[in-house]
Amino acid sequence: MEHVIYGMQKAELMIFSLYMLQMNKWFLDPRRPVTGGPQEEGLMPYIPELRISPHDMITYNQTLPRVSAIYTAPTGLESACVVLVYGLDLFYTRMFPSKMFDVLKDDFDHYLIGGAVLALAVAALITRKLAQKKALKQAWK
């Protein structure tokens, strides 16, 4: 799945067999080490079977029989894309392969940021006035 605007999210594979599954591309890397040495590269250690997490099921445990096509498209957010599966049924969802890294959390303190910006603006105005007074004093010397 490469439908992103700037390419900042990790690559995911979409696998379909009655269920839609998103899987990290690193799971299928043939260089996965048998030993734990080269894990600095971010390679997953080798295991003979792929462990599928229930959180990776995009279709939320709903089967989609006789699928005709699967479409993906980017959204306004870099961390999201939309997926449309159609055939006998329609299924539409948003996917966040790299989590929602470009969305503010619900508990984000907007007032604190606004207050900090306002305080910096006031400090800039005060220092501007002080600099003008100092320049005027030096001009009269």
pLDDT band at 9 (very low <50, low <70, confident <90, very high): low
Report the C-alpha gap between 114 and 120 in whole angstroms. 10
Q: Per residue in 76-119, pLDDT tens?
A: 777 778 888 888 888 888 887 766 666 677 888 889 999 999 99
Q: What is the pLDDT of residues 32-88, one digit of tens each?
A: 655 555 555 666 666 777 777 777 777 787 888 888 888 888 887 777 788 888 888
Residue 69 pLDDT: 87
Return the domain boundaries, the chain. 12-95, 104-141
pLDDT at 134: 95
Q: Output the pLDDT for position 10.
A: 60
Q: What is the pLDDT of residue 138?
A: 92
**What's the mean per-residue pLDDT of the chain?**
77
Smallest CA-to-CA distance from 81 within 90, 73, 91, 69 is with 73
Closest listed residue to residue 3, CA positions, set 94, 68, 91, 87: 94
pTM for the full predicted model: 0.54
